[in-house]
Structure formats: structure tokens, C-alpha cells
Amino acid sequence: MRFTQADLVERVKKVIKETKSLPTDSRDLNLDQSPSLRENPYWSVLLDNIEEEFGSLQTFYDRFIPKNFLEKNAVPFPSQEQEEITTQMLERSRLLIRDGAGAGKTAPVIKAKLALEQLVLEGEKINPIIVCPNFVISSWESKLREYLTDRQKVSTITSGNREEAIQKFEEEIANGTSGWTLVSYDALFRSVNNTAQDSIAHEIAGLRKDEPKITADQVTLADRMLSAVENSQGQMMLVLDESHNAKSPKALRSRAVRKLALGADRFYAMTGSPFPDNLEDIGELASLLEPENFKTADDFNRAYEGNPRLIRLFLRRFSKEPVVTFRDLPGVPNVNINPPTYLCMSPDEEKLYWSILEHKEFGMGRKFVLTRLAATDGTLLLPENQEGKSRKKMEPDQTRRPPPQRRSRRGRYRDCRFSLDRHSGD
């Protein structure tokens, strides 16, 4: 993959902002050192472009990256928003964090784990398991390296190293020396056997983007991880980063996530897209947030019937509460908010108002605008006042109705004509 010079500079700056350091080109991938551009395939492509065009990474830095590029620190850390998320993670055992990318969701997870061990559980060990897409693993590794002052173990399990990684995970969980475990979504549902042929078959299926079929007698990575944690002394804290990746109940990936989520002592889902395609996508996540009432996604979807208002109320029970900071800002005077003033509509205005709300061809956005106009001045709804000033008012018998599937805006307003005429004549 080839990048233009401007595109290459912009992409490297994003990597620097993400890791908050100048990545190196070292082949020694040590967590105690600055991150290397050889840590993941995407960064390696950037490094190959840099070395081919500029000779070395240092030459590229000297030419395009200012020396004070990393000195900007305008936002306090941790922010009040991050402190609030941490507090709510301590208070709730299941929580949905609906923040977009770059909102700082990583730091509260790390702080909550330490606070749970030291303050809430009084020394009981927490076994954090972070499930995320492959491309996010490097970001978690860099954040753990940045935020943790003392050295803690960070293990990464992907579909490629799952055979040896799960054995190491089980040993560390058993002897109480485990640290942070990062797992990719694509590794959870794959089998973990000692047979080399089985491992190779799964890798080939993964490269072909075909879901490998897991039979009942095969044990998946999620099964082994759950068994190891359940037999340990500590609690499991499961974090689903980009949780919309497990939205389909029938997918093997979602089934593996469900096993871990139902067995976790604490479950936190993070996503900026709780509804990737439609409202039913929230069903699987909702059943994990409240498994005692909704055993499956179908149970939730049948109960809420795709009602946006009810689904919003459900999510408010499990989502983090927003942080209200305006009243806490120093120097900001208190604002005396007067109670709202309500106006009574006349019978004609009320009839016009409800005729708009009950109209079957108007969408919610259009109804909102028309009801505001009706409450202000009903004549504003007349067709000649809607599109252009030169249009003349037409009598009902002079109006030709278009086919129902292609009705014009003028035709849609005709149903309100008689109410409008009476109102404009008052």
C-alpha cells in the first residue's frame, strides 16, 4: 500500500497522538520502551513507506514532526467525565458506556480495576479481560503502558497464538500472577486443541473470511478462559470494547462473548454505535446487561417490540449518567430559569394541531415543524406560503390529486385546507 507524502504525515501524527510518544522502528517489542511501528501490520506499512521514501524514521521525524508536537496538554487528566465513569463502574456491576472514539474510555477501566481491588473488594484480586477487535489491541497496549506506573503483566491472545497463550493464561490465573488479558473477538470462538492440523484449518478459514464450524465436542477459547477464571479465587471483570461487534445472536463470535459475559462478576460494554443497523441490534447486548429478565435477544425484542421510547428508557437504566459541569465552573453566575409559559389553543387551533399529528403521510420531523407553525399562525401552513411566493391559492375543485405513491407537498396539505380556511378567516 502506497501513501502520498501528505497522507503519510497525517497518519503518523495520528499514531503519535494515540500513543502519546514518538514510536521507534525497533524490533524489540518491550512494553517498558516506547512503542514500535512494527507492533501491528498497519503501523508496519507506514514504516515501510517512510523507509522507502526518506531512508529512516528519524529523518522523517526531523523533517515533518515538530519538536513540541507532544507538549500540548490542554485537557486535564483524568477529566471529570473519566472520574464519573470510574465511580459508576464501582457502583454498578453491569454498565453500558456509549461514548464515541477518542472520548477517553480506556483510563476509567484501568482506574476502576485498581479501585475495586484496593477500596471495594478490600484486597480481592480482579482478573480483567478486555475483548476488542484486532486493530484496537495495540491501542490498549499503549494505554496500559502509559497509565500504569508499576509494571503489570499484559497478555495478548489472538487467533494466531491462542494455543500457547491459553496455557499461559491458565497457569497465571491458577497461581494468582495474572495481569491484563487482551483478547480479539476473532479468537474467542475458535477451538483450542493440541492438534496442529486443526489450528491450521482454522487459520485458513479465517484468511478466507469463512466462519470455521465448531462442533459440540470442540472446546473454544472462551470455554477455557471461563473455566480457568471460575476455578480461581479472584473476580472476572469483562470489558467489551466496540461491543457492537457481537450484535448477532446466531454468530459464533456472539455466542462466545455470551459465555464470558454471563460468567463475569462485572460486565462493562463500550461502544459508540449501540444500533449499527437497526433497533433490533441492541437485543443481544440488552440480554447481557439484564440476563435475569431477558435470557436471549429474542426475549428482549419481543418485550420491547422495537419501540424507540421504551428501548431508550431501558438503556438509561444501564448507561452511565451524563456529567453536568456547567454549574460547577468557577466564575459562572447562577442562572435563574423562569418556569415555562403555556398557551391555550383555540378550538380551531387545537383541531388543526391534532389533524397534523394524526396525518399518516407526514414524518415525525415534518409534524414537528408543522405543529410549531400551527401554534404560531395557522396561515403559515397554506401551500402558497410553503413553496415560493408566486404560487396562487387553488380551490379544492381545481386541484388534481396525484397518484398516492407520488403525492406532492401541495396535495399533502389539502387535508388541512378547511381547517386552515376557517382559522385564517377568524
Side-chain-facing half-sphere of 81: CA atoms under 13 Å? 12
pLDDT at 66: 86
Q: For residue 200, what pLDDT band results from cuts at 50, 70 and 90?
A: very low
pLDDT at 13: 85
Do 312 and 264 belong to one domain? yes
Do 59 and 124 belong to one domain? no
422 and 416 in contact (C-beta within 8 Å)? no
> What strand order describes the sheet that includes 94-97?
94-97, 266-270, 235-241, 126-132, 180-184, 154-157
Which range is least confidently modeled, 209-223, 239-253, 305-319? Answer: 209-223
pLDDT top residue among 112 and 420: 112
pLDDT at 254: 92
247 and 123 in contact (C-beta within 8 Å)? no
Do 217 and 92 belong to one domain? yes
Q: Which residues constitute the domain of residue 364?
A: 347-425
- Checking if the pLDDT of 355 tops 90, the result is no
Do 113 and 223 belong to one domain? yes
Note whether residue 71 is domain-resident. Answer: no
Do 309 and 404 belong to one domain? no
3-state secondary structure the chain: CCCCHHHHHHHHHHHHHHHCCCCECCCCCCCCCCCECCCCHHHHHHHHHHHHHHCCHHHHHHHHCCCCCCCCCCCCCCCHHHHHHHHHHHHCCEEEECCCCCCCCHHHHHHHHHHHHHHHCCCCCEEEEEEECHHHHHHHHHHHHHHCCCCCCEEEECCCCHHHHHHHHHHHHHHCCCCEEEEEHHHHCCECCCCHHHHHHHHHHHHCCCCCCCCCCCCEHHHHHHHHHHCCCCEEEEEEECHHHHCCCCCHHHHHHHHHHHHCCEEEEECCCCCCCCHHHHHHHHHHHCCCCCCCHHHHHHHHCCCHHHHHHHHHHHECCCCCCHHHCCCCCCCCCCCCCCCCCCHHHHHHHHHHHCCCCCCHHHHHHHHHHHHHCHHHHCHHHCCCCCCCCCCHHHCCCCCHHHCCHHHHHHHHHHHHHHHHHC
Domain stop point among 276, 300, 318? 318
pLDDT top residue among 129 and 148: 129
Do 285 and 415 belong to one domain? no
Contact residues for 319 (Cβ-Cβ < 8 A; gap 6+):
95, 96, 97, 98
Do 85 and 151 belong to one domain? yes
- Mean pLDDT computed over 283-300: 90
Note whether residue 241 is domain-resident. Answer: yes
- Checking if the pLDDT of 341 tops 80, the result is no
Q: For residue 169, what pLDDT band results from cuts at 50, 70 and 90?
A: very high
Question: pLDDT for 219-233, tens place per residue?
Answer: 899 999 999 998 888
Note whether residue 114 is domain-resident. Answer: yes
241 and 140 in contact (C-beta within 8 Å)? yes
pLDDT at 219: 87
Average pLDDT score, the chain: 76
23 and 35 in contact (C-beta within 8 Å)? yes
Question: pLDDT for 1-48, tens place per residue?
Answer: 788 888 888 888 888 877 778 888 887 655 556 788 887 777 888 889
Note whether residue 328 is domain-resident. Answer: no
Task: Assign residue 150 the CATH number of its domain.
Answer: 3.40.50.10810
Note whether residue 153 is domain-resident. Answer: yes
Do 122 and 182 belong to one domain? yes
pLDDT at 204: 39
Burial group, residue 225, by CB count within 10 angstroms (0-12, 13-18, 19+): buried
Give per-residue burial for 118-150: e unless 16+ CB within 10 Å, then b: eeeeeeeebbbbbbbebebbbbbbbbbbeeeee
Report the C-alpha gap between 189 and 221 in whole angstroms.
6
Which range is least confidently modeled, 73-77, 91-95, 191-195? Answer: 73-77
Domain stop point among 269, 302, 318? 318
pLDDT top residue among 254 and 323: 254
Do 217 and 255 belong to one domain? yes
Do 408 and 276 belong to one domain? no
Do 87 and 123 belong to one domain? yes
pLDDT at 339: 53
User: Among 185-194, 259-268, 403-412, which range has the highest average pLDDT?
Assistant: 259-268
Length of the chain equals 426
- Mean pLDDT computed over 285-289: 90
Q: For residue 145, what pLDDT band results from cuts at 50, 70 and 90?
A: confident
Do 162 and 46 belong to one domain? no
In the chain, the number of structural domains is: 3
- Checking if the pLDDT of 290 tops 60, the result is yes
Domain stop point among 280, 303, 318? 318
pLDDT top residue among 348 and 159: 159
pLDDT top residue among 214 and 282: 282
- Checking if the pLDDT of 406 tops 50, the result is no
Cell 476455578 belongs to residue? 231
Report the C-alpha gap between 389 and 387 in whole angstroms.
7
Note whether residue 324 is domain-resident. Answer: no
Note whether residue 337 is domain-resident. Answer: no
- Checking if the pLDDT of 124 tops 80, the result is yes
- Checking if the pLDDT of 128 tops 90, the result is yes
Closest CA relative to residue 229, chosen from 260, 188, 193: 260
pTM (global) more than 0.75 = no
pLDDT at 120: 74
Note whether residue 72 is domain-resident. Answer: no
